[in-house]
Each structure stands twice: as structure tokens, then as C-alpha cells.
């Protein structure tokens, strides 16, 4: 996990240009908004840039952002400093919060960078932090036997639809030569079938089901909704 945190804390090339970054934030935000309501206290765990945060907090009671990467976190703190109902915490600070602190916990596009044990530990924390009747949303779960070329093809389709196709082609070449490609080859991504993820959530004390569509543009990946038993 630390290698991935360092990567996302660097000047990486995951976004091929500003248009890609913009539409990714919009589509991710749209997907998250479908799972929250105005009375919710929301935790977005492993939020990254959280370019959608200002939109989310308009539709929730409060929004707590959690990011482990220090440079990313510092930039995010400066950006949302004026937002009265947004709080930014470290993972350790989140783990120390009292029981039932949140109505909704979202963890999007993070599970693939965690070991199975790390994910189990986090699920226990989320179970404790959710109030009875609360909801856990886990998005972008990578399925087994999903090759990297399918992600590349999905990016090209996304770029064609949203107006950054040529930049997507160039971005794929840059990514192939980047630290991301090396990390993905050396460390791999954690992958779960639908049954495996449901079982993992159920062992952590949740009743879980798959939610379609997946949050974001990668429909080869999965989103799950889990509520405490």
C-alpha cells in the first residue's frame, strides 16, 4: 500500500489531460451522489483529489475526507479550507473516531491497492463507524481475470465519448512507461469476484449486494452496497 500512496502523491500521469480529470470527477461525483441524501454524515475514505467534494457536501449534512498521501492531503486541505462542512483527516484520525460517526462511508477505487488483510481491517473499522441503518459503498472493485488492456480500451471509449480521445492514446503510452505500469506489474492489484467480495463484507458484519452500474466509467469493475447486520 505504501508504494501506491507514494505513487499517487507524486506528479503521476493517471489523468491524460485536464478534460479527462474534469469528466472523471464529474462522473465519479454523480455516482457517489446516487448513494447519499441531505441528512447524511458522509466519509469518503481514500478520497484522492476529491475534485467532486464541493458537490457532495451540498447534498449531505457533513463530508469527512480521508487521504493518506501527505502532499495530496495538503493540497486538498488548502482547496476546501473555506468549506464549513468539510473535514479532512488522516487514516489514523479516522480510526480513532467514535462509534456511529457516519451515516454513509464511501471507499471508491481503493480496494485494489490494499492487501486482503488490510481490507478486512478497514471493513471492521467501517462497521464500527457506521450508525445502525448506515451504508457502506465500495466502488471500482477489480474482478479476477480482467486484463489491463480492458482498462485501456475503456479509457479510449471514455475519451472518444468525452472529447479527449487523442490525449487518451498518448496517455496510454506514457502510462506504459511510467511507475504505475511497473507498480501494477510488481505489486499487482487485489481482485475479487462478486461472491468473494460479498463474503468478505458479510464476515465483517454486513449484509451486502452488488450495485449496478459501477461508480465511474469502468463497467468491468464493481460497486457494492453493504449495511450493518
Comparing 70-79, 125-134, 176-185, the range with the smallest average pLDDT is 176-185
pLDDT in tens, 104-157: 999 999 999 999 999 999 999 999 999 999 999 999 999 998 888 888 898 899
99 band by pLDDT with thresholds 50, 70 and 90: very high
Kind plus residue range of the DSSP H or E element containing 168: helix 165-176
180: pLDDT strictly greater than 90:
no
- Give all domains of the chain, ordered by start, each with its CATH number: 2-228 (3.40.50.150)
84-87: long-range contacts at Cβ-Cβ below 8 A with a sequence spacing of 24 or more?
85/57, 85/60, 85/61, 86/53, 86/54, 86/57, 86/62, 87/62, 87/63
Amino acid at each position: 500500500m505504501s508504494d501506491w500512496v507514494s505513487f499517487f502523491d507524486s506528479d503521476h500521469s493517471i489523468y491524460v489531460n485536464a478534460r479527462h480529470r474534469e469528466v472523471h470527477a464529474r462522473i465519479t461525483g454523480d455516482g457517489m451522489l446516487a448513494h447519499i441524501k441531505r441528512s447524511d454524515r458522509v466519509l469518503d475514505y481514500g478520497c484522492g483529489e476529491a475534485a467532486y467534494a464541493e458537490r457532495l457536501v451540498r447534498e449531505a449534512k457533513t463530508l469527512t475526507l480521508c487521504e493518506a498521501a501527505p502532499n495530496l492531503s495538503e493540497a486538498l486541505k488548502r482547496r476546501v479550507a473555506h468549506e464549513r462542512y468539510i473535514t479532512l483527516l488522516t487514516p489514523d484520525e479516522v480510526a480513532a473516531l467514535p462509534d456511529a460517526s457516519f451515516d454513509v462511508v464511501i471507499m471508491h477505487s481503493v480496494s485494489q491497492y490494499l492487501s486482503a488483510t488490510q481490507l478486512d481491517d478497514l471493513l471492521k473499522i467501517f462497521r464500527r463507524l457506521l450508525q445502525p441503518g448506515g451504508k457502506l459503498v465500495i466502488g471500482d472493485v477489480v474482478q479476477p481475470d480482467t486484463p489491463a488492456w480492458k482498462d485501456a480500451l475503456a479509457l479510449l471509449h471514455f475519451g472518444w465519448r468525452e472529447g479527449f480521445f487523442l490525449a487518451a492514446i498518448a496517455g496510454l503510452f506514457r502510462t506504459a512507461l511510467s511507475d504505475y505500469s511497473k507498480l501494477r506489474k510488481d505489486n499487482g492489484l487485489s481482485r475479487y469476484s462478486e461472491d468473494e467480495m460479498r463474503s468478505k463484507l458479510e464476515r465483517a458484519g454486513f449484509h451486502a449486494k452488488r450495485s449496478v452500474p459501477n461508480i465511474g466509467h469502468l463497467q468491468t469493475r464493481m460497486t457494492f452496497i453493504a449495511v450493518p447486520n
